[in-house]
């Protein structure tokens, strides 16, 4: 299954790009989070972040569908 990951803020730095297609074998947001941490260990520090899927914030047990857009939004603090 393929999803598109769109990353903002420091998450974009970790991925080293804003958008990337991720081929993955799990079913839930929690699985995807685990896979991202394995590929990009710095994501471990963002372990508490919520994910949005398409236009909605979701919980870790949310089941992903093929071609979903998963959005990673770390807090930014600048003013």
Partner 1 sequence: MTKEDQLRYSRQTIIPEFGEAGQEKLLASSVLVIGAGGLGAPILQYLTAAGIGRIGIVDFDEVSISNLQRQVLFNTHELGKSKAQTSKQKLSALNPATEFDVHELAINATNAMDLIEPYDLVVDGSDNLATRYLVNDACFLLNKPLIYGAIFRFEGQVSVFNALENGKRGPNYRDLFPTPPPPEMVPSCSEGGVIGVLPGIIGAMMASEAIKVLCQMGTTLSGKLFIFDALDFSTHTLNVPASADNPLSGKHPSITELIDYEAFCMGQVEDKAQAEVTVHQLQHMLEEGNVTLIDVREDYEYEIANLGGELIPLNKVLSRSEEIPTDGNVVVMCKMGGRSQKAIDLLKSKGYKNLKNLKGGIMAWRAEIDPELQSY
CB of 32 closer than 8 Å to CB of 64: yes
The H or E element that residue 29 is part of is: helix 29-39
Q: How far is the CB of 25 from partner 1 (least distance, A)?
A: 26
Question: Pick from 1, 6, 30, 37: which binds partner 1 (CB under 8 A)?
Answer: 6
- Residue ranges in 32-71 that form contacts with partner 1 under rule CB under 8 A: 45-46, 48-50, 52, 55-57, 71
| 3-class state of residue 73 by DSSP | coil
Partnered with residue 6 across adjacent β-strands are 19, 71
**Cβ closest to partner 1, residue 23 vs residue 50:** 50
| 3-class state of residue 15 by DSSP | helix
Binding site for partner 1 (CB under 8 A): 6, 8-10, 18, 45-46, 48-50, 52, 55-57, 71, 73-79
């Amino acid at each position: 299954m393929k999803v598109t990951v769109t990353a903002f803020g420091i998450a974009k730095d970790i991925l080293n790009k804003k958008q990337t297609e991720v081929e993955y074998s799990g079913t839930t947001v929690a699985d995807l989070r685990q896979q991202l941490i394995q590929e990009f260990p710095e994501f471990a520090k963002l372990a508490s972040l919520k994910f949005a899927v398409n236009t909605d914030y979701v919980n870790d047990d949310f089941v992903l569908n093929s071609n979903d857009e998963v959005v990673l939004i770390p807090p930014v603090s600048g003013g």
